[in-house]
């Protein structure tokens, strides 16, 4: 079973099937700490993409 970070990465990389994605999105809605981690990972991913192009 994937750990939380693996789930976040799979979610952000659009690697989840519809059922997994729906379940994870419900979990994000119920869990503020998880929602914050997802946002942080989005921000870090965006920052990394910018650095590659600079």
Span 33-48, pLDDT tens digits = 999 999 999 988 876 6
Distance of CA 33 to the CA centre of its chain: 12
Task: Give 44's Cβ-side CA count (13 Å radius).
Answer: 9
* Total domains present in the chain: 1
Evaluate if residue 52 carries a pLDDT over 60.
Answer: no
Give the pLDDT score at 49: 58
Answer yes or no: pTM beyond 0.85: no
Which range of residues forms the domain containing residue 43?
4-53
How far is residue 38's CA from residue 9's CA, in Å, rounded to a whole number?
9
% of the chain with per-residue pLDDT over 70: 83
Give the pLDDT score at 18: 99
Give the pLDDT score at 44: 86
Residue 54 and residue 41 in contact, taking contact as beta carbons nearer than 8 Å: no
């Amino acid at each position: 079973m994937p750990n939380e970070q693996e789930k976040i990465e799979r979610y952000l990389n659009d690697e989840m099937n519809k059922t997994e994605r729906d379940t994870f999105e419900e979990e994000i809605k119920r869990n503020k700490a998880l929602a914050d981690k997802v946002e942080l990972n989005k921000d870090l991913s965006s920052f990394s993409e910018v650095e590659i192009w600079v």
